[in-house]
């Protein structure tokens, strides 16, 4: 069982990157929590999370060499999690991993017992946030929203759902509370404070 793997999913516009950044600022650096870094075929300056930016040829070479523990494609991009990003699990550390809903089943097959952190928001909020980003056409946004469905997780996985609909602080404190309920989670919410 890999109960210390927290696999983060949620639709575009839900604020996953913002909420994870909020959490990271508040967790003491001394905690045994590793923030898994993704390798993406997206420019480093494209915004969003801090990721390793590679071209498609580098991504494919890494994949063929067995360098990725997990990988998937979404929205015209390739995503990978390097093997070393999950090594801390063997040292009884927690790993926070920004994943993909479509890849959850494959991740679970390799890491059964993981915790799914589902960050979401109401459809009209997602639509407004995606339009404000200005990255996609109205048609592309609507097609993306059509793929927004309720999430189901394997029976022996823990599901935490956080609705990021009002303020980031409110969603963040709810997330802290829910993580604090996980068996063995190393952070006591009462001692957390911004760095």
Q: Is 166 in a helix, a strand, or coil?
A: coil
Instruction: State pLDDT tens for residues 26-40.
Output: 998 899 999 999 999
Q: Are strands 77-82 and 68-74 parallel, antiparallel or unpaired?
A: antiparallel
Q: Hunting for tokens 């969003």 — which residue is that?
A: 48
Residue with the bigger pLDDT between 135 and 112: it is: 112
- Spell out the CATH class of 5-36+91-182: alpha beta
Domain ranges of the chain: 5-36+91-182
pLDDT of residue 139: 84
Q: Which of 94-98, 112-116, 179-183, 191-195 has the lowest mean pLDDT?
A: 191-195
Q: Hunting for tokens 């890849």 — which residue is that?
A: 103
Instruction: State pLDDT tens for residues 64-118.
Output: 999 999 999 987 899 999 999 999 999 999 999 999 888 888 899 899 999 999 9
Q: Model-level pTM?
A: 0.85
Contact of 151 with 9, CB cutoff 8 Å: yes
């Amino acid at each position: 069982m890999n109960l210390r793997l927290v696999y983060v999913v949620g639709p575009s516009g839900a604020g996953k990157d913002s909420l994870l950044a909020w959490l990271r600022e508040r967790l003491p650096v001394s905690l045994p929590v590793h923030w898994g870094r993704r390798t993406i075929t997206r420019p480093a300056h494209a915004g969003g999370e801090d990721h390793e930016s590679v071209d498609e040829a580098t991504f494919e070479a890494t994949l063929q060499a067995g360098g990725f523990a997990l990988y998937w494609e979404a929205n015209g991009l390739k995503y990978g999690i390097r093997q070393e990003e999950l090594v801390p699990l063997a040292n009884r550390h927690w790993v926070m991993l920004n994943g993909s809903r479509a890849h959850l089943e494959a991740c679970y097959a390799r890491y059964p017992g993981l915790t799914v952190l589902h960050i979401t928001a109401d459809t009209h909020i997602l639509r407004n946030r995606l339009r404000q980003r200005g990255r996609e056409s109205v048609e592309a946004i609507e097609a993306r929203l059509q793929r927004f469905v309720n999430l189901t997780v394997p029976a022996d996985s823990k599901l935490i759902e956080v609705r990021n609909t009002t303020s980031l602080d409110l969603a963040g404190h709810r997330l802290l509370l829910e993580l604090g309920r996980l068996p063995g989670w190393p952070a006591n919410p009462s001692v957390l404070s911004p760095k």
